[in-house]
Amino acid sequence: MSSIRFLQLTDPHLYADRAGRLRGVETFQALIDVVAHARRHHWPCDGILATGDLVQDDPGGYATFRAVFDRLGVPIYCLPGNHDDLPAMRAALAAAPYQIGGTVRSGAWQIVLLDSCIDGSAGGRFSAQSLGDLDAALNDGRELHTLVCLHHQPIPMQSLWLDEVGLENAGDFLRVLDQHRNVRGVLWGHVHQSYDGDRNGVQFMSTPATCAQFRPLSEHFALDERPPGYRWLELAADGTITSRVVWL
């Protein structure tokens, strides 16, 4: 059985105005550059994981998002972030090639897409219902290797200001994961920086934004000088995840 390949493109922070800037970066052009690089070096893929903050508090930004992704010819699996407008997101991305949340099954794998957002809050939290749905998905797909995706970081990033807006009930989330032996990886956005680590044999990964980055290990908010980035992942039939962050 062959492996499957995904690209994670996260936190584009788009506006209706394609010249819109976030922290000095033209977010639309930066995303165009990221997609062009990915298509030159890591194409074809089996889908794109867009893990939140698709727009910067601007519902008109979903048309900008679609201008980039409509014609790529692969499924676009989306999650909301704290800057997204979920009703507008659902309306704009209601049909193929888009899917918001849910579970994706392909070959020996399933990908579980979780909404960790709280209305009006930069931080995240899972409801009891969401945690129950995760537990059910992991149980129903117990014969499948599983990658769990969310927006907010479920582990400390050792950055004081950033960890104050992470996943509030990370302990509850991790306890659900620990009850299942089929979880192979956990993947998130939100933090605008790269992380690769291991927890109880599970790969934990964060990915830089397709626009501006946050400085790692910073007590207070600070921008990094690193360029836009993305992540490619290869999910092997034996449950192995091979992955790397690409900086433009």
Q: Rounded distance, CA 118 to CA 23, Å? A: 24
**What stretches of 54-201 adopt beta strand conformation (E)?**
76-79, 98-100, 102-106, 109-113, 145-150, 183-188, 195-199
Q: Rounded distance, CA 221 to CA 244, Å? A: 26
Average pLDDT, the chain: 97
Written as one letter, the residue type at 60 is: G
Per-residue pLDDT tens for 200-243?
999 999 999 999 999 999 999 999 999 999 999 999 999 999 99
Model pLDDT, residue 90? 98
Average pLDDT (79-89) is 98
Model pLDDT, residue 29? 98
If DSSP codes are grouped into helix, strand and coil, which group holds residue 119? coil
Per-residue pLDDT tens for 47-76?
999 999 999 999 999 999 999 999 999 999
Model pLDDT, residue 1? 61
- Token pair for residue 185? 């990886």
For 41, other C-beta atoms within 10 Å of its C-beta total 9
Is residue 115's pLDDT more than 80?
A: yes
Model pLDDT, residue 184? 98
Contacts of 117 (CB under 8 A, 6+ apart): 52, 80, 81, 82, 84, 86, 124, 151, 152
Per-residue pLDDT tens for 163-202?
999 999 999 999 999 999 999 999 999 999 999 999 999 9
For 169, other C-beta atoms within 10 Å of its C-beta total 17
Model pLDDT, residue 55? 98
pTM, to two decimals: 0.97
Reported confidence tier of residue 2, pLDDT bands at 50, 70, 90: confident
Domain spans in the chain, listed from the N-terminal domain onward: 4-247
Q: Which fold has domain 4-247?
A: Purple Acid Phosphatase; chain A, domain 2 (3.60.21)
